[in-house]
Amino acid sequence: MKALELQGLEVAYGAVRALKGVSLEVYPGEVVTLLGANGAGKSTTLRAISGLVRPRAGSISFMGEPLTRLSPVQIVRRGIAHCPEGRRVFAGLSVHENLLLGASGRRDRGIGEDIQRMFGLFPILLERRNQAAGTLSGGEQQMLALARALMSRPKLLLLDEPSLGLAPLVVRSIFGTLKALKAAGTTILLVEQNVNLALELADRAYVLRTGQVALEGQAKELQGDERVARAYLGGAA
């Protein structure tokens, strides 16, 4: 069964059409990356999936069930976690509270254990656990945003530009963690500007251009394919 399937998804912000019929699919256990220039519609696609914007047309289904009519909260509870662009940690709350909030939709007893797991994954967060999240460095905030998303025990993780504005070394370390998550079987839909890193991690890729899928294929095959570069530069794919 497909984990996620988008068909003919259209989203508009007022008169601006951000997505003009995007179709894509993600299978369980797969890492799929969504590439494209600024304004191509990558973030909008993720926001539509997690219910933060309402699509004008088209369908989204998750594990065979339609998502289009659900609220963001219901969608999180179905098992989709969105790690938004620009990190968006709760600046005035402590690291520990941020992690607890990631488990807002959960009522089980495993939350404390999962927090310890996150501290194992990102030891720096353990050191900073009582610190206000707004005082963390950019890289630490990205780790916190990722850990917070994982706290919901997602079946599908939506990641929006985890490398944005971070030093190369920090980016390496984040992608190292993503590799470990992939090896553990996490299904990920990754939006990324850093094409090489994204294609290295992903199984498959879609390239968006002005709200449409311009190109898709196996990540291995798209590495070094000049059509990817051309899609970025706005030429014919």
Residues interacting with other proteins, by CB under 8 A? 50-52, 72-73, 76-77, 81-82, 84, 88-94, 96-97, 100-102, 104-105, 129-132, 135, 148-149, 152
Hey, how many other C-beta atoms are within 10 angstroms of the C-beta on 133?
A: 25
Q: Of 28 and 72, which has the nearer Cβ to other proteins?
A: 72
Hey, how many other C-beta atoms are within 10 angstroms of the C-beta on 96?
A: 18
Minimum distance from residue 111 beta carbon to other proteins (Å): 11
Minimum distance from residue 5 beta carbon to other proteins (Å): 21
Q: Of 37 and 132, which has the nearer Cβ to other proteins?
A: 132
Do residues 132 and 93 lie in contact, with contact meaning Cβ atoms separated by under 8 Å?
yes
State both tokens at 101. 């909030």
| Residue 94 DSSP class | B
- 3-state DSSP assignment of residue 194: coil
Minimum distance from residue 101 beta carbon to other proteins (Å): 5
Q: Of 76 and 197, which has the nearer Cβ to other proteins?
A: 76
User: How far is the C-alpha of 103 from the C-alpha of 47, rounded, in Å?
Assistant: 20
Cα 76–Cα 77–Cα 83 angle in degrees, nearest 5: 25
Minimum distance from residue 90 beta carbon to other proteins (Å): 4
Minimum distance from residue 12 beta carbon to other proteins (Å): 19
Q: Of 142 and 152, which has the nearer Cβ to other proteins?
A: 152
Q: Of 37 and 93, which has the nearer Cβ to other proteins?
A: 93
Which residue(s) pair with 26 in the sheet?
4
